[in-house]
Amino acid sequence: MRCVTPTSFYLISHISYLKSHKMKIGIAADHGGYKLKEIIHLFLVKLGHEVVDFGAYKLDNADDYPDFVIPLAEAVADQEVERGIAICGSGVGASVAANKVHGVRAALINDHFSAHQGVEDDNLNIICLGGRVTGNMAAEEYILAFLNAQFTGAARHVRRLGKVSALEGRE
Ligand code: RB5
């Protein structure tokens, strides 16, 4: 008899949901995230999503994450893509760079709970991952949780996000 673990049940049920909910998703990575980006690209295509790849388009150990992450972040802010996935070696540089773009709410994610709660409460629109930290399967699971989640729009979250976005007007 085939064993269905909680994780595989979760993945199967979420894959079924996401197959019927196609999104336009932007992805970007430097050399530290290049290999994971290529895997995630195929994963998203298999799910039926439209993927816009902001590079890097080859492994170049001298490249710089802002050159790929900032164009992705601008596309998310301009709503040219619905959500973004930014990957560098640790995910830290990607999140620092992405959050400089007004309208972007990016976070480095290393656990399943934060992957969906970040969207539900904080309206996260870019997930950042560490290609040298997070394994392929864990990354796929975090991405599913991120894509599957919706901002609740609860008044307390809108109020808190308003206090954050007010900073953008001061610059
Ligand atoms: C590049 O070597 C590395 O510093 C970068 O990918 C990222 O980890 C920065 O946060």
Region 44-55: what's the mean pLDDT? 98
Q: Is 89 in the pocket of ligand 1 (CB under 6 A)?
A: yes
- Domains delineated in the chain: 21-168 (3.40.1400.10)
pTM above 0.85, yes or no: yes
DSSP code of residue 107? E
User: What pLDDT, on the 0 to 100 scale, is given for residue 169?
Assistant: 83
Residue 170's pLDDT band, with cuts at 50, 70 and 90, is: confident
Ligand 1 test: best mutation among 60, 69, 90, 132, most atoms within 8 Å of CB?
A: 90
The answer to whether the CB of 59 falls within 8 A of the CB of 34 is yes
Region 53-70: what's the mean pLDDT? 98
Region 137-152: what's the mean pLDDT? 98
Ligand 1 test: best mutation among 34, 65, 134, most atoms within 8 Å of CB?
A: 65
> Nearest Cα to 127, choosing from 100, 148, 146?
146
Distance CA 117, CA 132 (A): 24
Q: What's the 55 CA to ligand 1 centre distance in angstroms?
A: 15
Nearest CA to ligand 1 atom 3: 89
Nearest CA to ligand 1 atom 4: 89
Region 21-26: what's the mean pLDDT? 94
Phi, psi (degrees; rounded to nearest 5) at 63: -80, 165
Q: Is 93 in the pocket of ligand 1 (CB under 6 A)?
A: yes
User: What pLDDT, on the 0 to 100 scale, is given for residue 6?
Assistant: 55
Helix (H) or strand (E) holding 35: helix 34-46
pLDDT value at 48 more than 80: yes
Q: Is 114 in the pocket of ligand 1 (CB under 6 A)?
A: no
User: What pLDDT, on the 0 to 100 scale, is given for residue 1?
Assistant: 42
Question: In this structure, are strands 83-88 and 24-29 parallel, antiparallel, or unpaired?
Answer: parallel
Region 4-16: what's the mean pLDDT? 54
Plot region of 52 (φ>0 → left; ψ -120 to 50 → alpha; else → beta): beta
